[in-house]
Amino acid sequence: MPGEKREKIIPALVLLVLFLDQFSKFLSNSKLSLHQSVPVIKGIFYLSLVHNRGAAFGMFKNQTFVFIATALFAIVLIYFSLKKNKRISLYSLSLGLILAGAVGNLIDRLRFGYVIDFLDFRVWPVFNIADSAITVGAILLGWTMLFRKDAS
């Protein structure tokens, strides 16, 4: 029974994050022009459309093939890890978040050759929901690996 629950929860999590990511990117791309910045909370939070051709923080620009290959490799590893792990845990939830983010950004790279970023706090590079899912998933994964004996 726990395996059945995980088999529903993790795919639901991945699909929800993927939907929110792709829908928010669609809205940003259709409502904002490139490099346009609209204040949501003036001085704190803006919607700013950026086409990121690099990795995190725009590093390694125009290495699309490398990013696609890396994302596909990560997706396969995560898939097999989730398939092996039959119970719901913080570990499987963290992998689900990372998987959703990797797929979301991979879709952008395959469709456009860049990732659509739009969340702008002005003290951090512009990012998107997929990036947030990857970051939160990585923090949770690190936590489970450092502090939990039953991480996997």
Do 118 and 32 contact (CB within 8 A), yes or no? yes
| 152/137 Cα distance (integer angstroms) | 14
CB neighbour class for 150 (10 Å; exposed up to 12, middle 13-18, buried from 19): exposed
| 144/94 Cα distance (integer angstroms) | 9
Token couple for 3: 């395996």
| 6/32 Cα distance (integer angstroms) | 38
Q: The sheet that has 45-52: what strands, in order across it? A: 37-41, 45-52, 115-120
108 is catalytic: no
- From 21, 108, 120, 131, active-site residue: 131
- From 21, 117, 120, 150, active-site residue: 117
Token couple for 96: 């689900």
117 is catalytic: yes
Residues that are catalytic? 117, 131
